[in-house]
């Protein structure tokens, strides 16, 4: 278990959290280099509460070379394992399966697709190969997206579905459209752990390729009103309960700032026909979020998406 890791002692965690939250915008970067980590340090995982693990693989490099982590969650029970979001390719997903087998001899019963983007589902065929009876669960919107790409058949959740494996209850919920338009979250009421997937991008510039900007803010609001101890993101490092709660609010502030700036540019008549043709991006003022991971590539995408929303062109 060379690349596994455990939660640090209380004092060490407090010092670590203090150091990581000292960035300009108050949230630590999801860039692995910001923590002096290399690609060889992954995958990594940590236990949040008994039998619940945050698992980190890697996103493909951004065009400037930045590499961020991709977070999955694993719930182990005596009746089977539940995986919340997979990884981006077959190699990483096979490594994930091998590491899950170190945690439990039980089979993977369910894979919940919180995000239908490739960096979270690209290796899902490996789950089916290893466990032919595995059940994939997605929102109806994500099912349509994934069916077009030849992903395995799946069951759908429009509003809420409760999975019960022995004494473990997992509530799979649709809190609203956010980063993908097919976003699901998963809540463990006994331990108060909420896996938000890409609804929560910690230390990542708001990525809006298929997003619903204003609805995304409303979805985060709903999550913040829940009784939660651990908020687990789809990207970004998982530190302490307190830091994850604080930085979910920071993530919402970043999203609100980007939306407001795009609205300002739109009102000023600055053009942005698409992410590839967005002169407005040269005038964008991202403030404390300018140095967030992926800001260079995601800025024009965000402006274009907000323009679509303002002009009634969202799908």
Do strands 230-235 and 193-201 pair parallel, antiparallel, or not at all (unpaired)?
Answer: parallel
Taking the C-alpha atoms of residue 280 and residue 278, their distance in angstroms, rounded to an integer, is 5
**pTM (2 decimals)?**
0.92
- pLDDT beyond 50 at 45: yes
Q: Are 24 and 290 contacting, i.e. CB atoms less than 8 angstroms apart? A: no
Greatest CA separation found in the chain?
Answer: 59
Question: Given this model, what pLDDT does residue 13 score?
Answer: 36
Q: What is the mean pLDDT of the chain?
A: 92
Question: Given this model, what pLDDT does residue 26 score?
Answer: 62
**Average pLDDT over every residue of 39-58:** 98
What domains are there in the chain, each with its CATH number?
Answer: 10-240 (3.60.15.10)
**Average pLDDT over every residue of 239-244:** 97
181-225 confidence digits (pLDDT tens): 999 999 999 999 999 999 999 999 999 999 999 999 999 999 999
- pLDDT beyond 80 at 12: no
Question: Given this model, what pLDDT does residue 11 score?
Answer: 29
- pLDDT beyond 90 at 3: no
281-314 confidence digits (pLDDT tens): 999 999 999 999 999 999 999 999 999 999 999 9
The confidence band for 27, taking pLDDT boundaries of 50, 70 and 90, is: confident
Q: Of 12 and 36, which is predicted with more confidence?
A: 36
Taking the C-alpha atoms of residue 247 and residue 179, their distance in angstroms, rounded to an integer, is 17
Laid out side by side, the sheet with 135-138 consists of 44-49, 52-58, 69-77, 80-84, 108-112, 135-138, 155-156
**Average pLDDT over every residue of 49-63:** 97
């Amino acid at each position: 278990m060379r690349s596994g890791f455990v939660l640090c002692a209380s004092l060490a965690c407090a010092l670590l959290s203090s150091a990581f939250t000292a960035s300009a915008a108050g949230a630590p970067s999801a860039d692995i280099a910001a923590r002096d980590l290399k690609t060889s340090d992954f995958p990594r995982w940590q236990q949040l509460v008994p039998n619940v693990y945050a698992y980190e693989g890697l996103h493909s490099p951004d065009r400037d070379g930045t590499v961020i982590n991709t977070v999955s969650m694993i719930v182990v029970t005596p009746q089977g394992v539940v995986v919340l979001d997979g990884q981006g390719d077959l190699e990483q997903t096979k490594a994930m399966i091998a590491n899950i087998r170190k945690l439990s001899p039980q089979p993977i019963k369910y894979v919940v697709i919180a995000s239908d983007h490739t960096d979270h589902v690209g290796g899902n065929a490996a789950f089916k190969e290893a466990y032919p009876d595995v059940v994939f669960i997605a929102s109806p919107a994500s099912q349509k997206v994934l069916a077009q790409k030849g992903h395995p058949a799946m069951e759908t959740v429009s509003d809420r579905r409760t999975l019960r494996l022995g004494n473990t209850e997992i509530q799979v919920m649709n809190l609203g459209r956010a980063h993908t338009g097919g976003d699901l979250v998963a809540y463990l009421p006994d331990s108060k752990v909420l896996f938000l997937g890409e609804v929560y991008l910690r230390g990542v510039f708001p990525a809006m390729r298929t997003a619903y900007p204003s609805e995304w803010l409303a979805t985060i609001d709903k999550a913040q009103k829940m009784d939660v101890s651990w908020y687990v993101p789809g990207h970004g490092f998982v530190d302490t309960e307190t830091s994850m709660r604080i930085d979910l609010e920071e993530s919402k502030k970043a999203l609100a700032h980007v939306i407001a700036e795009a609205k300002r540019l739109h009102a000023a008549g600055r053009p942005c026909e698409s992410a590839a043709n967005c002169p407005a991006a040269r005038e964008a003022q991202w403030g404390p979020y300018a140095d967030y991971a992926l800001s260079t590539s995601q800025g024009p995408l965000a402006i274009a998406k907000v323009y679509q929303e303002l002009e009634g062109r969202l799908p």
